[in-house]
Amino acid sequence: MRWSEAVLVGLRLLVVIVALGVVGIEAWGLQTINDIQARGDAVLGTVQLEQAEKEEAWRDFFRTVAESQLIIWITVATAAFSFLVSLIVLLSIKVERMRITPYVLIPLEFLSMFAMATTFGFSLNLAIDLTRFGGATLDAGPSGDLAAFAKLSPRILGHAIGSGVGTGLLLLTSISALVSTCRRAQEKNSCSFEPTASALGMGHGYAAVTPRAPRSNIPTIYDPEKPMPEDTTALDISTLNWTSAPSSWPLKEDEQSFAKDGAVMGHRDSQLSERSRADYDEDISGPLGLEAPLTGQQTRPARPWSEAPKRNR
């Protein structure tokens, strides 16, 4: 695995962790909101606050939190979806049996990014609404329940920051996967058969060497500048003499000797090639059939010294 692929796998793992943390914070926030709706007014009635403005601030806080319950549920759903998709993408990269084609994997990554961006948008909006309820505004006094309720505002702010980080990581991994897939498709569709420096395994600092072009005139045994004869002479194989009229391209002495030697060689080969089919049939000692061949008796030349009568001792 290359270092770039290892970095992308690490980023995807970080996305899974961030998405899981966002889901956990949202679930904790939902539990706090349900607790506020169930016994918020009762807890506020048992606590004696010094100023009436502080009690009104708490009631305004409870009202804002109750109205934002639907937003919290939306962020929980989108963050959970982003977590599941990011986990599937990570497993498809690391596990061979869960391999998914890039044409499906890339849309899933972008869909996960959009889901996390939706979570970030709703969480940021809710965090901005709760920023006006600071620590000085919400005075918990001696009540521990009111102190737990007041922690919901920084918790929502942390949730918005986490979802923003997850959105940035998903954007980076999605664009990287898209660029990598486009580059691989371009390499597959390339019709160039000329080897490059990278294809030959050459590192940086080495230039591709262009082979030297061959010469235009390839050397042969024939002279290209010499004209072809108009009327060549024929060689009589039986007498090895030139019988026709002299040609416009007379042969030299070394050429004539070469031609005579070649004619003799051709004449010897032609004698073998002119043997009739009957001559070959005479060499066949028996009929040709499909039966298994019989094992012939081994014969050897006569040895007079071995056939001489032995002397009696």
Whether the Cβ atoms of residue 75 and residue 166 lie closer than 8 Å to each other: no
CATH (residue range 3-187): 1.20.140
Confidence at residue 240, expressed as pLDDT on a 0 to 100 scale:
47
Confidence at residue 272, expressed as pLDDT on a 0 to 100 scale:
46
Confidence at residue 257, expressed as pLDDT on a 0 to 100 scale:
63
Whether the Cβ atoms of residue 112 and residue 85 lie closer than 8 Å to each other: yes
Confidence at residue 237, expressed as pLDDT on a 0 to 100 scale:
46
According to DSSP, residue 215 is labeled P
Radius of gyration for the alpha carbons in the chain, expressed in angstroms and rounded: 50
Q: What is the pTM of this model?
A: 0.54
Interhelix angle 52-67/102-130, nearest 10 degrees: 160
Q: What are phi and psi of 241, to 5 degrees?
A: -125, 155
CA distances from 15 to 6, 140, 162, 166, 179 (A): 14, 36, 10, 6, 19
CA distances from 74 to 27, 79, 121, 153, 274 (A): 11, 9, 11, 18, 100
Confidence at residue 30, expressed as pLDDT on a 0 to 100 scale:
85
Which residue type, as a one-letter code, is found at position 51? Q
The pLDDT profile of the chain, 313 residues, written as one tens digit per residue, is 577 778 888 888 888 999 898 888 888 888 888 888 887 777 777 776 666 777 777 788 888 888 888 888 898 899 999 999 989 888 888 887 878 888 888 888 899 999 999 999 998 888 888 877 765 567 666 677 777 887 888 888 888 898 999 999 999 988 988 888 888 777 766 555 555 555 555 555 555 555 566 555 665 565 556 665 554 454 444 454 544 444 445 556 666 666 565 555 544 444 444 455 455 555 555 555 555 656 666 666 666 665 656 655 5
123, containing H or E segment: helix 102-130
Which sequence spans correspond to the domains of the chain? Answer: 3-187, 231-272
The position carrying tokens 């009436």 is 52
Alpha carbon distance 161, 167 (integer Å): 10
Alpha carbon distance 98, 30 (integer Å): 34
Confidence at residue 206, expressed as pLDDT on a 0 to 100 scale:
53
Confidence at residue 246, expressed as pLDDT on a 0 to 100 scale:
47
Alpha carbon distance 169, 14 (integer Å): 8
Token couple for 254: 């070394």
Whether the Cβ atoms of residue 120 and residue 90 lie closer than 8 Å to each other: no
Alpha carbon distance 78, 84 (integer Å): 10
Within the chain, what is the greatest distance between any pair of CA atoms? 156
